[in-house]
Chain A
């Protein structure tokens, strides 16, 4: 009893702190999402899910393979060399991701630090047959006009409308397509970022980016006012070229004629769009 009256405040404070931490642990964060979730192509519009939020699939819902226009586009694309078949990515990674090859990357001139296993902008080796990063400051942009296809989609949000703030519901198109796949012109030597910036400006679609010096690339924070972390803390914009999610920034991906560039919004660190990189395996 004496002990209690002496340390009353301290005991109460300790219990309070424990309760708050437990609460924060339980309610805060959705990092431990099921890694098996994949996008289920949904035709449910934002209005429909407004009325019945139950339509969003649970993580245990059937997993459909992703059929993206890039899969067909890459077949007749001259950019992909058919002989080079990239190795499968480590366990847990998505299908749009391949294992990097150190021999291939070094033979093409990528300088890899032997200690970290990465180049000076913290990029892991690139998979076999994939283009190496080209630093934007070294890129030579010519007058030669080339074409590629560009699309911007956010259909994964349709399954996660509950996570999105109500103020932003109107920004999500019913079919999830912000910028429908379209053949656009670019100049030889330009990067994915250059094309995105120009086309978004031309289409009067809002886009915000931030230059990140340690990765020597622009980071796309938001397109059409849909920002990173808007649909949960695992959400943000990712890009893929010819079905592959590059492991470096969009300012360093130099485009080739006929490339298919897709910008997709993920709500689950890339798992739902097929671009998740498993770490540590």
Chain B
């Protein structure tokens, strides 16, 4: 039982095994919708789905990240709005500065904070699913230079972090790490390490570019490192994404999920049509989690049968 789970860990996320087009289209739709829809229900749906998917993908680390960084960020940005914006018809209290504290500004602050956390959460899922080889596979032929730059810059921070550990360990062996000596000595060592890192980063980027060029990157007829096949499962997924995405987009354009925060809060809440859009939106956002859960169930059923 335990062994099976761990073996499965390597390629645990079913959604990642879909064609890169599906992955990219899904994140494109979901992130665009999350950043444009201000209806509270939409924000809630997107928040719940993004957090559940990030927890599914990254496990305990995502939970810790959400509680340690996302929750304070949520609270701070929710409080920020009423401190600076005093719009809104419902005056609750007067701030010490003399300006009114309004219900609308508080709710709007919460909504914006939810949107911010949702977007960050979606991007954490994106970086786990859309690896750089997938990105280069998708865009390597259309915009070769751009996709190389993008994948290199997206990889920079994790690569930099890994390299700084290597350099720091090497320096520690010769007694020149930031943990050796007095405060001035430590600072000097730190600056040396930083200088090594900057040199390394510049050199490394040139090396990468040269190496890609010498391997014929961007030339016609060149194949990608990873080869993906667009199978019937991907066909079904793309139809699903297309249908839900179009329905939601048309619904939003027709004002089916209209909502305003200022000067008074007002918008579409009840009714069959808005409900169908919310349902569709939920179905779109939750898609990878559903795929994963279904796959897990299948796996467990097969295992217990065997």
Residues of A at under 8 Å CB distance from B?
167-168, 171, 197, 201, 204, 206-209, 222, 225, 227
CB distance from A166 to the nearest CB of B (A): 9
Judge whether B260 is part of the interface by a CB distance below 8 angstroms.
yes
B99 touches A209 (CB 8 A): yes
B87 touches A171 (CB 8 A): no
10 contacts between A and B (CB under 8 A): A168-B263, A171-B263, A197-B98, A204-B91, A206-B87, A206-B91, A208-B86, A208-B99, A208-B100, A225-B262
Contacts of A197 in B (CB 8 A): 98
Contacts of A168 in B (CB 8 A): 263
B94 touches A201 (CB 8 A): yes
Chain B positions 94 through 113: 1 when the CB is less than 8 Å from some CB of chain A, otherwise 0: 10001110100000000000
* B contact residues, total (Cβ < 8 Å): 13
Instruction: List the 3 shortest-distance A-B pairs measured between CB atoms, nearest first.
Output: A225-B263, A208-B86, A167-B260
Contacts of B263 in A (CB 8 A): 167-168, 171, 206, 225
Measured in the bound complex, the distance between the Cα atoms of B105 and A225 in whole Å is 12
Judge whether B218 is part of the interface by a CB distance below 8 angstroms.
no
Q: Give the tally of cross-chain contacts (CB within 8 A).
A: 31
Interface secondary structure of B, over-half rule: loop
Q: Among A171, A201, A208, which residue has the most Cβ atoms of chain B within 10 A?
A: A208
Given A167-B262, A171-B263, A225-B262, also A206-B88 (CB < 8 A) = yes
Contact of B98 among A204, A209, A222 (CB under 8 A): A209
Tell me the nearest residue of chain B to A227, going by C-beta.
B87
Given A167-B263, A225-B262, also A207-B100 (CB < 8 A) = yes
Judge whether B45 is part of the interface by a CB distance below 8 angstroms.
no
Tell me the nearest residue of chain A to B104, going by C-beta.
A225
Given A222-B87, A227-B87, also A206-B260 (CB < 8 A) = no
CB distance from B91 to the nearest CB of A (A): 6
Given A167-B260, A225-B87, also A206-B102 (CB < 8 A) = yes
Contacts of B89 in A (CB 8 A): 171, 206, 225
A208 touches B260 (CB 8 A): no
Measured in the bound complex, the distance between the Cα atoms of B293 and A54 in whole Å is 59
CB distance from B188 to the nearest CB of A (A): 43
CB distance from B241 to the nearest CB of A (A): 32
B98 touches A225 (CB 8 A): no
CB distance from A206 to the nearest CB of B (A): 6
CB distance from A178 to the nearest CB of B (A): 13
Tell me the nearest residue of chain B to A205, going by C-beta.
B91
CB distance from B86 to the nearest CB of A (A): 4
Contacts of B100 in A (CB 8 A): 206-208
